[in-house]
Amino acid sequence: MNTTKTIQSALISVFSKEGLEPIVRKLHSQDVVLYSTGGTEDFIKNLGIPVTAVEDVTSYPSILGGRVKTLHPKVFGGILNRQDNESDVQQMKEFDIPQIDLVIVDLYPFEKTVASGASESDIIEKIDIGGISLIRAAAKNFKDTVIVASVDEYSLLLDLITDQNGATTLADRKLLATKAFHVSSHYDTSIFNYFNTDETIFKASIADGQILRYGENPHQKGFFFGDFDAMFNKLHGKELSYNNLLDVDAAVTLISEFKTDDPTFAILKHNNACGLATRKTISDAYNVALACDPTSAFGGVLIANTKIDVATATEINKLFCEVVIAPEYDAEAIEILQQKKNRIILIQNEVDLPQKQVRTCLNGLLIQERNRITDNKEDLKTVTTTTATEQEIQDLIFASKVCKNTKSNTIVFAKNGTLISSGTGQTSRVDALLQAIEKAKTFGFDLNGAVMASDAFFPFPDCVAIAKDAGIAAVIQPGGSIKDQLSIDYCNENKLAMVFTGTRHFKH
């Protein structure tokens, strides 16, 4: 059976007319009969091309302020009839229903209307009824009917009807139907999420996915679904990989904790900070952050909370790093950083991050609210007789911010606005503490007078005892263990300051 079909009639009814003219002119040159409504009908007439109003086919006017225009058996019969079904063929003749081979229709801009902050009544009016019905009908009947449901497919349609002289194959029609069902399902998801208040129901539709070079490893396929270009302006470098994106996400989340602080620079490797410092200049902050762990910084992701200047760029250029991120750069700083061909340079834009985090788990999904709590001075409850100094309190808050954004179990040491070291992703808190101590020694840091942050409580006093022996002067932790008093007693006996925050910051 020949499944190639030549378009002889078309229904065109679109909200946006951009890019429509060449298609209309091509269809007219191929003697295609055109049907249309309202503004699209006027658009076609103004091109000097004959068009039949849908009202003339249905013998029924547009009613209810345009809410009902195409919802009629003569329209949907023309779209849904099966051309190889004898009963359908007979009924088409009996009820004088015109054949419709091509449907070009788009949808009212619901998402844009919601994003604009419009009133609920305006938003409701942008819920398309006729358009979505036409899309589904034509897509369902792809065996006989061509559907174009988005301006994004105009060029594809124009190429098809030009190259194939108005004909389409079954494969062509099925491809366009697939794209149409994507349009309709995405649209319905947006509407549902606007109305939905039940947090136990989750629907998501992301239209702008991109293929990555590979996933975590070269043998794994990788994809990113999101609007990367809204969040960053990419100035230079190779395409970001799956692992790059994970590190960039961790970097952006971490630096957001220091958004309003003095110049702060962070260096991350495998989602964890290996260097971080706050100073009076971003150049000083970078140099101190690099000194935290210059070994791990190799091949890392770098991020600043303020403009990267020439002095900072000059120092960065001495290091092999994958990605550099900042809200802005001096022009000369960009030129310096671009000297490395593959180095990715990003300008971070002000974009709200999703308030829910989603990850696959078993045969489903885990969803949680983003951890929006950042410990601050007002949260601190001193539980020991020894109180932390003002500088120690600043360092405790600094260490807590890093700890919150480091893989559990974690211990973080900080001193004078500098990340000294951390123990990350360990199976016990003692192991994390010992790892942090060993790392600090490796890079020659003096822990005397430093502070310690823990992402969860201490069930025993062993960690504060080890920390005290290493030189730690003050500790920040959430508290909440039934044996908190054991740690408090040890701190009191050994003149160690400890504060509770009341908030645990696990990060799995």
Catalytic residues: 140, 270
Q: Are strands 33-36 and 9-13 parallel, antiparallel or unpaired?
A: parallel
Q: How far apart are CA 366 and CA 325, in angstroms?
A: 29
Q: Could you tell me how many helices (H) and strands (E) the chain has, helices first?
A: 20, 23
Residue 286: name the closest of 337, 342, 238, 242 by CA: 337
Q: How far apart are CA 275 and CA 266, in angstroms?
A: 6
Q: Which residues pair with 230 in a beta bridge?
A: none
Counting every residue, how long is the chain? 508
Residue 145: name the closest of 85, 92, 96, 83 by CA: 83
> What type of residue is 281?
T
Q: Is 234 exposed, middle or buried (0-12, 13-18, 19+ CB in 10 A)?
A: middle
Region of 416 please: left (phi>0), alpha (psi -120 to 50) or beta: left
Residue 179: name the closest of 285, 264, 103 by CA: 103
Tokens of 344: 């990715």
The reply to whether omega before 287 is within 30° of 0 (cis) is: no
Tokens of 77: 């019969």
Q: 137 with 214: CB under 8 angstroms?
A: no
DSSP helix/strand/coil, 249: helix
Tokens of 293: 């762990």
- Specify the DSSP class assigned to residue 126: T
H or E element, residue 433? helix 429-442
CA distances (Å), origin 298, targets 253, 267, 275, 302, 318? 21, 10, 11, 10, 10
